[in-house]
Amino acid sequence: MKKVICLITAVMLCISLASFAFAAEVEFVPSISYKGAPSIVEITDDKGNPAIGAIVNANGETIGYLQSDCLLITPIAEANTSTKIPADAKATLLSVYDQLNKGTMKLPYGKNVDADKMIVRDLFDVSWMCTEHPAIVEPKGVTVTITFNIGVDANTDVVVMSYKNNTWAEIVSVKNNGNGTITCAFEDFCPVAISVPVPGQGPDDTGDKADITLWVTLLTVSALAVVALVVLRRRDFMK
| Separation in Å, CA 52 to CA 69, 75, 136, 208 | 9, 17, 14, 26
The 10s digit of each residue's pLDDT in 104-148 is 999 999 888 888 899 999 999 999 887 655 556 555 678 999 999
Could you tell me the pLDDT band of residue 69, with boundaries at 50, 70 and 90? confident
Q: What is the pLDDT of residue 192?
A: 97
Q: What is the DSSP letter of 145?
A: E
The three-state secondary structure class of 100 is helix
Q: Sheet containing 71-75: give its strands across.
A: 71-75, 118-128, 191-197, 159-164, 167-170
Classify residue 19: in a domain, yes or no.
no
The 10s digit of each residue's pLDDT in 48-66 is 999 999 999 888 899 889 8
Q: Measured at the alpha carbon of residue 237, what is the angle toward residues 234 and 239, in degrees to the nearest 5?
A: 115
The mean pLDDT of the chain is 80
Classify residue 149: in a domain, yes or no.
yes
The three-state secondary structure class of 233 is helix
152 CB neighbour count, 10 Å cutoff: 25
Q: Domain range for residue 161?
A: 27-207
Contact 184, 145 (CB under 8 A): yes
Classify residue 238: in a domain, yes or no.
no
Q: What is the pLDDT of residue 193?
A: 97
The count of domains in the chain is 1
Classify residue 230: in a domain, yes or no.
no
Classify residue 148: in a domain, yes or no.
yes
The three-state secondary structure class of 210 is helix
Classify residue 137: in a domain, yes or no.
yes
CA 200 to chain centre: 17
Classify residue 140: in a domain, yes or no.
yes
Classify residue 6: in a domain, yes or no.
no
